[in-house]
């Protein structure tokens, strides 16, 4: 009888996957580049607000593909959180919190008031999302 030859099984190489930290928007672009972009956005879309949404480093949530958002001024923070959750493909029960300058804005607050209170010198408002209600 002929013996069946099994193909040699390769042992998988154990490699260390590097958890490359994505650069923040501020690290990726200079102040002048960010300022020019926000001015251009506001001139072209006066009823919208330029928002940068980035993941809080200590959260288990996924990294969002698109950091930059043009948000209607009359949108509530709660509506924006809902949109973020949809973009992150979160399950309905998963909590999502958004911080601006280490502060948790009220979900009923309008994005326009958040923008006017927290916009940075480059013309963007930076929001940090997390699955935890505490920051820091």
DSSP codes, 109-126: SBHHHHHHHH--TTS-EE
Q: Phi-psi bin for 135: left (phi > 0), alpha (psi -120 to 50), beta?
A: beta
The length of the chain, given as a count of residues? 136
So what's the pLDDT on residue 2? 46
| Predicted pLDDT at 106 | 96
Q: Which residues pair with 99 in a beta bridge?
A: 128
pLDDT of residue 29: 95
What's the predicted TM-score (pTM) here? 0.79
* pLDDT for the residue 16: 34
Specify the CATH number of the domain 25-130. 3.10.20.90
Q: What is the pLDDT of residue 21?
A: 60
Domain segments of the chain: what residues?
25-130
Can you give the pLDDT at residue 134?
62
Spans of the chain below 50 pLDDT: 1-3, 9-19
């Amino acid at each position: 009888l002929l013996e069946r030859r099994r193909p040699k099984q390769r042992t998988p190489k154990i490699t260390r996957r590097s958890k490359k930290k994505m650069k923040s928007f501020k690290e990726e672009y200079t102040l002048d580049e960010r300022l020019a972009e926000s001015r251009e956005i506001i001139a072209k879309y006066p009823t919208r607000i330029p928002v940068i949404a980035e993941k809080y480093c200590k959260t288990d949530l996924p990294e969002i593909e698109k950091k930059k958002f043009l948000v209607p001024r009359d949108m509530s923070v709660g509506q924006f959180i809902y949109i973020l959750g949809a973009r992150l493909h979160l399950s309905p029960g998963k909590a999502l919190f958004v911080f601006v300058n280490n502060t948790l804005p009220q979900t009923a607050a309008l994005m326009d008031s958040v923008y006017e209170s927290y916009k940075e010198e480059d013309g963007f408002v930076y929001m940090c999302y997390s699955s935890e209600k505490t920051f820091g």
